[in-house]
Amino acid sequence: MTPAPSDRPPVIAGTATSPTGPVPMARVTIESSPRPLPDIGALTDEHGRFALGTAGPGHYAIAIHAEGFEVARIECDVDVDDRQVDIELIPRT
């Protein structure tokens, strides 16, 4: 992990994948954070990558929504460094 510069809060970055590969255009949102945040979200790129700004260190809950997949949720703790999370989406049956 690369340390976050002291002039900005850490970032939660990662990749959304499925059993068949990356999931582009998935909507990634922060559902809960240690401090109030405006609605923060991002879309994954063609490689399934995303990055979300945070309110600083603490516990975060993230949700990933993509057409044809179950909603995926993950929780993570963020300290002063950027945090990497990888999430595998399950196809909806």
pLDDT tens per residue across span 52-81: 999 899 999 999 999 999 999 999 999 999
Whether residue 5 is contained in a domain is answered as no
3-class secondary structure, 83: strand
Whether residue 19 is contained in a domain is answered as yes
Tally Cβ neighbours within 10 Å of residue 91. 11
The structural domain count of the chain equals 1
Quick check: 46 pLDDT over 90?
Answer: yes
Whether residue 64 is contained in a domain is answered as yes
Whether residue 3 is contained in a domain is answered as no
**What tens digit of pLDDT does each residue of 13-39 get?**
999 999 999 999 999 999 999 888 778
Contact indicator for 23, 69 with CB cutoff of 8 Å: yes
Note down the domain range covering 28: 11-88
Give the pLDDT score at 2: 57
Q: Which residues lie below 8 Å from residue 58, measured CB to CB, with a gap of 6+?
A: 33, 34, 35, 77, 78
Give the pLDDT score at 36: 82
Whether residue 34 is contained in a domain is answered as yes
pTM of the model: 0.85
Quick check: 85 pLDDT over 60?
Answer: yes
Quick check: 3 pLDDT over 80?
Answer: no
